[in-house]
Chain A
Amino acid sequence: MAKAKTTVAFQGTLEQEKALQEVIDAHKGQAGALMPVLQAAQGIYGYLPVEVQEKIAAALHLSVAEVYGVVTFYSQFSLNPKGKYSVSVCLGTACYVKGSDKILEAVESKLGIKSGECTSDAKFSVDVTRCLGACGLAPVMTVNEDVYGKAEPKKVAEIIDRYMND
């Protein structure tokens, strides 16, 4: 999947840098350490800006190109920061058969952004996700950790509004 690069300036804190260093130290020397380190780094920063990739590459003795190659290969790694509320719509088969494409359309039109993007106030981002395995509740959308099963296009605006004024 092609990935858009972020235009938001990198603003890492010292605590984040310290946390990253601890992760790197814990995995150093382990075979195939890159993936677990990247996963942890994304947990720390919320995304993987090039500054973080450079640091990881240097620490694991890899080229930045190799790290960047891995980051862009896997769909869960993000080059963009996520909104405060990350909205995901499942487009797995069970959800699709039950019309989750209509849910996605409703979310996109409500927020005025397309999937993979973030609103300009950094409040909402929209993503399409692969099957979450909650097929019994299809169609499924999530806002951060909250899961909304058996979603209907009509109710999307109401769900988003709950977070809008927060």
Chain B
Amino acid sequence: MTIEQLNQIKDKYHELVMVRKIVKEEGEKLAKNTGYRKQVLICGGTGCTSSGSKVIIDALEAELEKKGLKDVLVVKTGCFGLCALGPIMIVYPEGTFYSMMTPEHVVTVCDKHLVEGGEPVKELLYKDSVLEDGTILPLNETPFYKKQKRVALRNCGVIAPENIDEAIALDAYQALYKCLTKMTPDEVIDVMIASGLRGRGGAGFPTGTKWKFACSRRGEVKKYVCCNADEGDPGAFMDRSILEGDPHVVLEAMAIAGYAIGSDQGYIYVRAEYPIAVQRLTIAINQAREYGLLGKNIFGTDFSFDIELRLGSGAFVCGEETALMTSIEGHRGEPRPRPPFPAVKGLFGQPTILNNVETWANIPQIIMNGAEWFASMGTEKSKGTKVFALGGKINNTGLVEVEMGTTLREIVEEIGGGVPNGKKFKAAQTGGPSGGCISAADLDVPIDYDNLIAIGSMMGSGGLIVMDEDNCMVDIAKFFLNFTVDESCGKCTACRIGTKRLYEILEKITAGEASMKDLDQMEYLCENIKKNSLCALGQTAPNPVVSTFKCFKDEYLAHVQDKKCPAGICKALLEFWIDPEKCKGCTLCAKNCPVNAITGKVKEPHVIDNNLCIGCGTCLTNCKFGAVTKR
């Protein structure tokens, strides 16, 4: 393909896609030129697919057909971010946002909104997009989206990811053309260094510097470019959303890196737990090959580059770069010592660079807009934006992208809409099993790589799980340790045995069997595992314990000294109690108790015998009067 052909496709589809970018009057004007009066975008990401968006798409297409509405276009996109409200449907040019759609709702929207001269159906709109006076806000002006800055996610939820033409309409592969024809490989690396982009996978290593390490002897030795899409941190799904929503950005960026370091072969290592991402990537690679944007002599230059897809099979450690490469080579995914670093000796023993999906997603825009543009966003040492996956006890669960330096308070309270059910914010966990907790005291710290480390957590891949007063921090630390014990590959002793022993201490604490000596032992073990483990999995495994112990020491002490779990989670330390004032004597609890620990006469307050009680909580779930409590 030549640049003229690329631009022809861009021109052909540009207006069609731009209708979704600019809303209101301009969008309407633009829509007239496209032949489509309305465009309906429905999320086809994992979240919305799980809540049934496929049924919605089918229902909509059938209804449009029935009504003969040929000037309405249905587009299946990637993730919009607000996963808890799926299936999500957006109507352009207005930009109105329908949430939690059902097939019945689809019929209503067709009848009242999508027909000629129709008006939005206010009752079905996302509640934050309708103001008290009845004004309807377009998507990008709602509180969830207004504070966001979409760079890596710029095309997610805008284009149809299975159609390369829509990606081209928004400048896909233009940056690759610019590199191949107007820049030398060294200039590309210089731009990357100047931009200040740091790896988004967790460690935050400067991307340009990494490329520079691998750039010597171009054309003389075989080199590889790898994409780490083994997003294993539980609660993080930004990489998946980029792959599902905008796969071409990753392919283009990898080709740019191939040009910069002198490599002709790329590998994408993606989790098998992400079937939709795998499918979209396969389609994207085939389309790019068909257009000649991957393969031999791209844009008629002497640069050739192709990409192969490799699937993981469920091993968290394969997110570690050396383990990932060992896995691609077809072995048990065990890490190897560094140095030699992958840039010197990586995949199949050859120089290799490896970047994370979100890192790749920033690169074409840095090439197009320049290093200064990117460096103008963020803080002094952390440039650009970061995508966070908000989850746990928060009103707006989903994906958000904010400028580096945004405070946790802005993310949790303004974008995330705060903690549900009037509960109090207790902590946010970032960085998954390698990270730590941020307590309420640090809510106003601007988030960037260095600040997070300073307060005892880490950026990690960007999972951000909010916890409220009902979550026990010792239990959370135990949860993460259980995860690392399971996922430790077993190669080095410090991690294999150390994490197991650490987990056992936490089990003792939550069972109320620990003494103060165990806490000393716990701290000692944490330090040793950190110092002596071979790879980042082991080195960071104690972090959840260290940070919860630092921020919530009183909770640990309550478990050890008073044998109480203040949050009411650790079963062995709980006592169930029936409030005689509230108990109506309905006998439901006694009937359902598996060990017959509850006694009492009909219409008289019941009593739990704590010697018999096994703490299963069945009485609590069954009581209709709120008389059963944990204490």
Contacts and interface: CB of A to CB of B under 8 A. Distances in A.
A binds B: yes
Interface of A: 1, 31-36, 38-39, 69-70, 73-77, 91-94, 96-98, 129-138, 140, 147, 149, 153-154
A130 B393 contact: no
Task: Name the interface size band of chain B.
Answer: 35 or more
B631 to A, nearest CB: 19
Contacts of B333: 73-74
A131 B398 contact: no
Interface string B38-79: 000000001101110000000000000000000000000000
A35 to B, nearest CB: 5
Contact of B463 (A73, A93, A130): A93
B332 A136 contact: no
A55 B475 CA distance: 45
B330 interface: yes
Contacts of A77: 313-314
11 contacts: A35-B313, A36-B311, A91-B234, A93-B432, A94-B235, A94-B463, A97-B393, A133-B231, A133-B273, A135-B83, A153-B621
A97 B332 contact: no
B273 to A, nearest CB: 6
Contacts of A32: 310, 328-330
B197 to A, nearest CB: 24
B397 A31 contact: no
A132 B471 contact: no
Contacts of A129: 273
Given A32-B329, A140-B50, A131 B314 contact: no
Contact of B274 (A73, A74, A133): A133
A93 B235 contact: yes
Given A39-B311, A73-B332, A97 B397 contact: no
B311 to A, nearest CB: 6
Contact of A75 (B311, B314, B429, B463): B314
B391 interface: yes
B509 interface: no
Contact of A131 (B82, B237, B348, B397): B237
Given A135-B389, A138-B391, 16 more contacts: A32-B328, A70-B330, A73-B315, A76-B312, A76-B314, A91-B234, A92-B234, A130-B232, A130-B273, A131-B232, A134-B47, A135-B237, A136-B85, A147-B49, A147-B50, A153-B621
Given A93-B463, A93-B479, A137-B51, A131 B315 contact: no
B235 A135 contact: yes
Contacts of A154: 621
Chain A CB within 10 Å — which of B85, B231, B311, B331 has the most? B331
Nearest to A31: B348
Contact of B237 (A33, A38, A91, A133): A133
Nearest to A2: B486
B397 to A, nearest CB: 4
B328 to A, nearest CB: 5
B259 interface: no
A36 B278 CA distance: 13
A88 B402 CA distance: 33
Given A73-B315, A134-B83, A149-B50, A33 B330 contact: yes
B114 interface: no
Nearest to A105: B616
A97 B273 contact: no
Nearest to B232: A130
Contacts of B274: 133
A76 B313 CA distance: 5
Nearest to A33: B330
Nearest to B399: A136
A102 to B, nearest CB: 8
Contacts of A39: 272, 311, 313
B46 A134 contact: yes
A98 B463 CA distance: 15
A35 B315 CA distance: 13
A38 B313 contact: yes
Contacts of A153: 621
B589 interface: no
A1 B486 contact: yes
A74 B235 contact: no
B618 to A, nearest CB: 10
A137 B479 CA distance: 20
Nearest to A128: B486
Interface string B591-631: 00000000000000000000000000000010000000000
